Amino acid sequence: NAGVTQTPKFRVLKTGQSMTLLCAQDMNHEYMYWYRQDPGMGLRLIHYSVGEGTTAKGEVPDGYNVSRLKKQNFLLGLESAAPSQTSVYFCASRMDRVHGYTFGSGTRLTVV
């Protein structure tokens, strides 16, 4: 039982490049989330999904896109990377609205 798995764990991008971060969960959770974590700012919600085929914007969605084609997978795309997107990205999932998150191990992204 792997829980929530994120790939890749580390990545360095040049400004303007694109990439996709993959999140996979094996707990049959309906709800999935993408957060970014920056020093002193806690965790900020980028996008989330309440079920297969659904997505919604969070606090800081600009410059990112997401897709939830399968219930177990939630993809985060960066269309044209910028240095301001240098951050640690965490994926999370949960069973329903009154349960806590299970987090993935994070992706450290550096945009140069």
Partner 1 sequence: GENVEQHPSTLSVQEGDSAVIKCTYSDSASNYFPWYKQELGKRPQLIIDIRSNVGEKKDQRIAVTLNKTAKHFSLHITETQPEDSAVYFCAASKGNDMRFGAGTRLTVKP
Contacting positions for partner 1 (CB under 8 A): 31, 33, 35, 40-45, 48, 50, 56, 58-59, 90, 97-106
Question: Which CB, 69 or 100, lies closer to partner 1?
Answer: 100
Question: Which CB, 56 or 82, lies closer to partner 1?
Answer: 56
Question: Which CB, 17 or 106, lies closer to partner 1?
Answer: 106
Report yes or no: 75 and 25 within 8 Å, Cβ to Cβ. Answer: no
> Which residues fall within 8 angstroms of residue 34, CB to CB, at 6 or more apart?
21, 23, 45, 46, 47, 48, 58, 64, 66, 74, 76, 89, 90, 91
Minimum distance from CB of 87 to partner 1 (Å)? 14
